[in-house]
Amino acid sequence: MSGGNSKNKARSSKTAGWEEATGEFYQELYPGAEQELFDNLHRADATSLATLLPSKQARNTTTAKRARSQNERRQSTFARNTQNRDIHLSMLPDLSENLSNEERTWDEIMQIKSMPVPMAQKRDLKASLQNATKLRLQGLEQLHWRQRKVWHRFRIRAAEIMGKLELWQSPMREIEGKFGTGVVSYFLFLRWLLFLNITISIFVILFLILPKVLLVENKQNCQDFQPNSTQCCSQAYLHKNLTDSNIILDVIQGTGMMERTILFYGVYSDQIYTYYIKDFIESQMYYNMPLAYILVPISWAFLSLIAIVKTGAKGFKERLVESEGQFYTYCNIVFGGWDFCIHDDKSARIKHKALYNEIKGSLEEERYKEEKLRSRESQILLYLKRLFINIIVFIILSACGVFIYHVLNFSHDQLREVSPTDVTSPFVNVTRPEKFSFHLKNPFNQLKITFFEFLPFLCIVILNIIVPEVFSYLIKVENYNPAHVIIIALLRTVLLRLSSLAVLLWQIYIYVNDEHGLECAFNKNNPNSVECWETYVGQQFYKLILTDFAVQFITTFFINLPRAFVARHSTSRCLKFIGEQDFYLPKHVLDIVYTQTIIWMGSFFCPFLPIIGTIFYFLIFYIKKFTCLTNCTPSPVVYKVSKSKSLFMSVLLLGFILSIAPVAYSIADILPSINCGPFRGFNRVWDLVILTFDKFPSLLREIIFFIGTSTFAVPAFAVLLFFLYYYWAVATANRHMVTVLRNQLVLEGHDKQFLLNRLSAFIRQHQKRCEKRNRASFVDDDASIRHSSR
């Protein structure tokens, strides 16, 4: 038995796995087993014999294998026979001594926690391991092992600290107790987004806001007026007298006084700051503000992408491993269906019901699939119904788009009528007639302005709330597979939100292209043109996110809370129907992904947006928690954690790609305003990067140019294709291997069955023969007794 181990020394680690497996197989038949076999001989049928097989026993063998160190192929095997309920510390002897070294012992102690035995036994095991004689390690190995210990201790300590600092631990536990792990995964996603936004905000604060606040800009006065001089134009823009309006309205809308703050793109300087740190460094230091302004969004975009892909990859890996099929579905429900963390009475009841429904649903789905030979007519009818409803959905989406378009135009026209864009300009002697100033100071007028500023966004948000309800009603009629229902509902809602955003962006684009800041603010001909279009865009996003947050707040507390109240305290069925809500996960996921998409889109134009976003996420957590715990009852739909996680990440990735596209376009193609911002004077924002790139050392430039040429690109592309093909081929081969091994297993199973049958037949025969002999001997004895008694 143990001789097999010495052969293992020569093998590579891959085949060693198989050798060791066979070795273990034989080692399992240690002395006790044969006795059991003979004891159970009276149960000589194949099934009960099969229960004596090693693979059916609850014996645990933990082998501490160290594949790394080549010179130690000794293995100590702990074999425990749980049927006897005591521990045998049988160290199987090897050819050489069986002492293990410190590191091996330490490893084994670390493995003890995975044994399903009571604590008292674990402590005994640890004590005996520690007291056993062990070899000390020497030299390099000892160093290596010390390193491992230190690193391990560091990780444990870090985990302890992180455990104490974990944000929102008790709310999560509360939600877990009532709703189960599916809903908790949503809140974990929300927390993850919060941390992502905190990171982006830190970037922005460190590199954009702090320099803007701390460093002093060189004031350059406009000497002679030249029509395209950025200094004169921006000076005119930045120093004009602001309209005299209500400060609260200004804060909400982002206009007026707020326009000149660091909230928006406009005031960021286009200069390279110079500064001194007198104590440390004597010479002048430079800070290139425009370069920083373009590099910061690029870096947080990369950061977000890497974070999403890394977190999502874990979920995707799980999706690949799991397979569909009846076996896995039912295993999932039976062994993984009950959330052990639920402890609320009502939730437990609802969970029982949910599981019951799920089992029933799966069984029905089976029947549905089996009965696919339905009549032709009903199938055609079903498809027609689905086509019809898809057309309706499309019509609804386009209607929403058109509606938002009209609302935008309408409010734009109204705004143009009601409010002029500036009052006086310091360089022009003509002042506007006084009726305008009277016009503005009228409070009714101000409210009117605010209303029209927010009208489009209110419409967007309200549509986002109402239309998905319509969709969820429609999808019930279509009779889809339950798994498909969620995906299709999600897709439609995503399209709805995207269409409204797309229309908004398109309108902004038209408006900006029409009459944008090519006009110097110095002497404007068109009183209605926007002087700084980037600030205007930033303002729109600012308003959108504020409206979104406000509406969520209002719906939770002023609409859903009374509904829940009504549902809980009234007895009439109709009211209960209106009042009862459940925490429909896809809708809430879309809410926060939408917020995050707006933040990503708007951050270039409004650098403060991630910070506002962080604050909002923090508040949204409590709002959603309130919705979940107070307004909603536990849902009869079972949310699977692994599917949810991969769903969240896919939707977030989609949002990310869609949000980066417009920003990338505006960086690459649109003319920046001449009056404001870090890129005034350039033809495109990207020109600045090219300019900076030209100043690089020529070696670096050569390298990057070389990467762009075809001499490099084509072979690189070919190599990438080759690797892709290689990995695909390996994957196919593995899949084929799996089928081959499975077939082999089936054959082995047949062999085993055959042998068991033979064994049981043999045992029965043997028993019969023994009985016959016994009977015969009795007969003989009888005969001899009778004989003797005659």
Partner 1 sequence: MGCSQSYPGLTEDILEDYSTLTYLTKGEVLHLMKKFYSISPEKLKANYNHRFSKEEILQKFDVLRNNPFQDRFFKVFSSKKDGHFSFEDILDLASAMSPDCSLEAKAEWAFKLYDLDEDNQISERDITEIIDRITCDPNCYNRYLDNELKKKIANIILEELKLDSTGSIGLIEFKIMMSRIPEFVSSFYFRL
- Across the strands, what pairs with 457? none
Cβ neighbors of 309 (< 8 A, separation 6 or more) are 653
Please state whether 344 falls in left (phi above 0), alpha (psi between -120 and 50) or beta. beta
337 binds partner 1 (CB under 8 A): yes
Tell which residue, 479, 636, 641, 454, has the closest CA to residue 548.
454
**Segment lying near partner 1 (by CB under 8 A), choices 69-77, 91-99, 114-122, 707-715:** 114-122
Cα 673 to chain centroid distance, Å, stands at 38
The rounded distance, in Å, linking the Cα atoms of 288 and 463 is 44
Tell me whether residue 47 or residue 698 sits nearer to partner 1 (CB atom): 47
Q: Which two tokens stand for residue 728?
A: 């695909």
Tell me whether residue 261 or residue 744 sits nearer to partner 1 (CB atom): 744
482 binds partner 1 (CB under 8 A): no
Residues 542-581, interacting with partner 1 (CB under 8 A): none
363 binds partner 1 (CB under 8 A): yes
DSSP string over 680-746: TT-SSHHHHHHHHHHTS-HHHHHHHHHHHSHHHHHHHHHHHHHHHHHHHHHHHHHHHHHHHHHHHHH
Cβ neighbors of 248 (< 8 A, separation 6 or more) are none
Work out which of 33, 37, 44, 50 binds partner 1, going by CB under 8 A.
50
Q: Are 333 and 362 in contact (CB under 8 A)?
A: yes
* Residue 115 Cβ vs partner 1, minimum distance, rounded to whole Å: 8
Tell me whether residue 161 or residue 399 sits nearer to partner 1 (CB atom): 161
* Residue 179 Cβ vs partner 1, minimum distance, rounded to whole Å: 13
734 binds partner 1 (CB under 8 A): no
**Segment lying near partner 1 (by CB under 8 A), choices 116-124, 208-216, 525-533, 585-593:** 116-124
Residues 155-194, interacting with partner 1 (CB under 8 A): 156, 159-160, 163-164, 173, 176-177, 181, 185
Residues 739-758, interacting with partner 1 (CB under 8 A): 745-746, 748-749, 752-753
Work out which of 327, 444, 473, 577 binds partner 1, going by CB under 8 A.
327
Amino acid identity at 390: N
Tell me whether residue 119 or residue 140 sits nearer to partner 1 (CB atom): 119
**Segment lying near partner 1 (by CB under 8 A), choices 86-94, 578-586, 638-646, 650-658:** 638-646
709 binds partner 1 (CB under 8 A): no
The rounded distance, in Å, linking the Cα atoms of 256 and 248 is 10
Q: Are 285 and 211 in contact (CB under 8 A)?
A: no
The rounded distance, in Å, linking the Cα atoms of 574 and 185 is 33
Tell me whether residue 366 or residue 781 sits nearer to partner 1 (CB atom): 366
20 binds partner 1 (CB under 8 A): no
Residues 119-148, interacting with partner 1 (CB under 8 A): 119-120, 122-123, 126
Would you call 78 helix, strand, or coil by DSSP? strand
DSSP string over 222-265: --S--TT-HHHHHHHHHTSPPP---HHHHHHHT-GGGGGSTTSG
Tell me whether residue 753 or residue 784 sits nearer to partner 1 (CB atom): 753
> Residue 230, Cβ neighbours under 10 Å: how many?
20
113 binds partner 1 (CB under 8 A): yes
681 binds partner 1 (CB under 8 A): no
Tell me whether residue 431 or residue 743 sits nearer to partner 1 (CB atom): 743
Tell me whether residue 726 or residue 754 sits nearer to partner 1 (CB atom): 754
* Residue 182 Cβ vs partner 1, minimum distance, rounded to whole Å: 9
The rounded distance, in Å, linking the Cα atoms of 738 and 735 is 5
Tell which residue, 30, 97, 100, 96, has the closest CA to residue 65.
100
**Segment lying near partner 1 (by CB under 8 A), choices 138-146, 271-279, 354-362, 583-591:** 354-362
The rounded distance, in Å, linking the Cα atoms of 226 and 147 is 69
The rounded distance, in Å, linking the Cα atoms of 787 and 128 is 68
356 binds partner 1 (CB under 8 A): yes
Work out which of 10, 12, 38, 56 binds partner 1, going by CB under 8 A.
56
Residues 300-319, interacting with partner 1 (CB under 8 A): 318
361 binds partner 1 (CB under 8 A): no
Instruction: Compute how many residues bind partner 1; rule: CB under 8 A.
Output: 75
Tell which residue, 186, 110, 115, 2, has the closest CA to residue 625.
186
776 binds partner 1 (CB under 8 A): no
